[in-house]
Amino acid sequence: MRGTQSTSMGRSILGVAMVAVGISCAITQMAKGGAVPSNAGQAVTAPAHAGAQMPRIENAKLETRAVTGTLDSTMRDIAAKAEKPQWVSYSVDQVSREQSICCGNYNSDGFCGTCRLEKGRNEDGGMTFAPGTLNLEGQRQLVVLFRLEDRKVMRIRAASDNCTLDVGGLQLVWLNGVKAAESVAFLETFVSADFEGHRDHNPGHEALTAIALHADASADHALESFTAPDKREELRKQAAFWMGAARGKAGLNALLKMAKTDPSSEVRSHVAFALSVSHEAGALEEMIRMAHDDTSSHVRGQALFWLAQKAGKKAVGTITGAIENDPDTDVKKKAVFALSQLPKDEGVPKLIEVAQTNRNAEVRKQAMFWLGQSNDPRALQFFEKVLTQ
């Protein structure tokens, strides 16, 4: 789940007079709690004042309203009347202001382009991480979007406030005054009700992603609740990934617990991957512990692999130790593969050493194979020496 790095493109704007009039009308209408006039087929630029926190919106029949009661009751009221396709959206604080998340439509020059909500809804529609360039002096906002049709939520999308949203001419209801904790609680209902493994555009998966990007402690609690042993394995694995990728120290603490207590070796091996994407101090040490001590050879092997991807020189001791001391030949072979993933100046000499001296014939054969794949001159010299002896 690592996305392509990109930054937001600058977009052309409407004429000065039109922008001034549009913003003035929008502010007036929202102050009264009313709707902004429809602008189907035209660009709608959100007013940049506190409380709205809208991204740039294009091709939308835009309406704004305040949340009355709870978010859940407001969404139920809107959905009950949503026979035709429409979108509902709001913003909350995003977990990181240094990164953006955009819909799958982005430009090949490395800049985040327009998120075309309708054009992409049957395509990939994934999320793309990218360094952000807007709102760096303040809190970045996460835009959460729900596509309604036939009186129910069909899709959930997320984007940072520096993305441009093209709504494809449909109505978009923008909600003001949404509380982050209520947003997390509402999204949790989709994760709990509809989380099917590997299904594209599944609202449960999409809701989990949105939860992970909320800058609120309720998101940490929600993600950790999804790792309980009675939850399905795919949900525990995906929750683990987001705790490593987005949740900082709280996420690391949850992963440390999962690494020691989750009953599934498949889930624990995914925890090793989640630890590899965490930037928190302590993640590397836990990966080393898993490579040494986990009861599953599969988990030990996966921990070795991700150690090689993450740690470089720091991983060499653990990897070579596994080659020498792990009781399982399959783990030894995975450790040899992990050596092949290290930078060549570190990995190739170690592979040559294993090929020359290891007592296990299968391990020596594995080292020879990966040396052959390295295209390194030192490997060629080693083979020439072996063949001429």
Q: Residue 251 falls within a domain, yes or no?
A: no
Q: Which one-letter DSSP state was computed for residue 33?
A: T
Question: What is the rounded average pLDDT of the residues 15-38?
Answer: 34
pLDDT on residue 139: 73
Q: Residue 323 falls within a domain, yes or no?
A: yes
Task: Report helix, strand or coil for 143.
Answer: strand
Q: What values do phi and psi take at 167, rounded to 5?
A: -90, 0
Q: Which domain holds residue 70?
A: 1-178
- Whether the pLDDT of residue 36 is over 80: the answer is no
Q: What values do phi and psi take at 126, rounded to 5?
A: -75, 180
Instruction: Determine contact, residues 115/11, Cβ cutoff 8 Å.
Output: no
pLDDT on residue 41: 41
Task: Report helix, strand or coil for 249.
Answer: helix
Q: Residue 363 falls within a domain, yes or no?
A: yes
State the Cα–Cα distance between residues 383 and 387, nearest whole angstrom.
6
Question: What is the rounded average pLDDT of the residues 169-183?
Answer: 96
Flag the least confident range among 6-15, 100-109, 145-154, 378-387. Answer: 6-15
- Whether the pLDDT of residue 311 is over 60: the answer is yes
Instruction: Determine contact, residues 89/174, Cβ cutoff 8 Å.
Output: yes
Q: Which one-letter DSSP state was computed for residue 173?
A: E
In a shared domain, residues 34 and 158: yes
pLDDT in tens, 290-300: 999 999 999 99
Domain boundary pick from 161, 178, 195: 178
pLDDT on residue 39: 42
Helix ranges (H only) for 247-376 are 248-261, 265-277, 283-293, 297-311, 313-325, 329-341, 344-357, 361-374
- Whether the pLDDT of residue 8 is over 60: the answer is no
Q: Provide the CA 312 distance to its chain's centre, in angstroms.
A: 24
Query: What residues does 155 pair with on adjacent strands?
Result: 147
Flag the least confident range among 97-106, 131-140, 323-332. Answer: 131-140
Q: Residue 240 falls within a domain, yes or no?
A: no
The alpha carbon torsion through 301, 304, 306, 311 (nearest 10 deg) reads 180
pLDDT in tens, 178-190: 999 999 999 999 9
In a shared domain, residues 13 and 128: yes
Q: Residue 50 falls within a domain, yes or no?
A: yes
Q: Which one-letter DSSP state was computed for residue 98?
A: S
Question: What is the rounded average pLDDT of the residues 299-326?
Answer: 87
- Whether the pLDDT of residue 9 is over 60: the answer is no
pLDDT on residue 136: 46
Percent over 90 (pLDDT), the chain = 57
Contacts of 383 (CB under 8 A, 6+ apart): 371, 372
Q: What values do phi and psi take at 264, rounded to 5?
A: -100, 125
351 half-sphere exposure, CB direction, 13 A CA radius: 32
In a shared domain, residues 36 and 168: yes
What CATH number should be reported for the domain holding residue 318? 1.25.10.10
Q: Structurally, how many domains does the chain consist of?
A: 2
In a shared domain, residues 167 and 309: no
Query: What residues does 142 pair with on adjacent strands?
Result: 92, 160
State the Cα–Cα distance between residues 155 and 251, nearest whole angstrom.
26
Domain boundary pick from 158, 178, 198: 178
Query: Kind of pairing, strands 39-45 and 56-66?
Result: antiparallel
Instruction: Determine contact, residues 289/256, Cβ cutoff 8 Å.
Output: no
In a shared domain, residues 4 and 138: yes
Angle between helices 344-357 and 377-388 (to 10 degrees): 20
Instruction: Determine contact, residues 140/132, Cβ cutoff 8 Å.
Output: yes
In a shared domain, residues 173 and 42: yes
Q: Which one-letter DSSP state was computed for residue 168?
A: T
Q: Residue 98 falls within a domain, yes or no?
A: yes
pLDDT on residue 198: 54
Flag the least confident range among 28-42, 222-236, 275-289, 350-364. Answer: 28-42
SS3 readout for 211-245? HHCECCHHHHHHHHHCCCCCCCHHHHHHHHHHHHH
Contacts of 250 (CB under 8 A, 6+ apart): 217, 220, 243
In a shared domain, residues 25 and 160: yes
Instruction: Determine contact, residues 213/95, Cβ cutoff 8 Å.
Output: yes
pLDDT on residue 119: 67
Q: Residue 306 falls within a domain, yes or no?
A: yes
- Radius of gyration, CA atoms only, the chain: 25
Q: What values do phi and psi take at 64, rounded to 5?
A: -115, 145
Q: What is the pTM of this model?
A: 0.75
Q: Which one-letter DSSP state was computed for residue 327?
A: S
Q: Residue 195 falls within a domain, yes or no?
A: no
126 versus 237: which is more confidently predicted?
Answer: 237
State the Cα–Cα distance between residues 94 and 256, nearest whole angstrom.
24
The alpha carbon torsion through 222, 225, 231, 232 (nearest 10 deg) reads 40
Domain boundary pick from 139, 154, 178: 178
368 versus 13: which is more confidently predicted?
Answer: 368
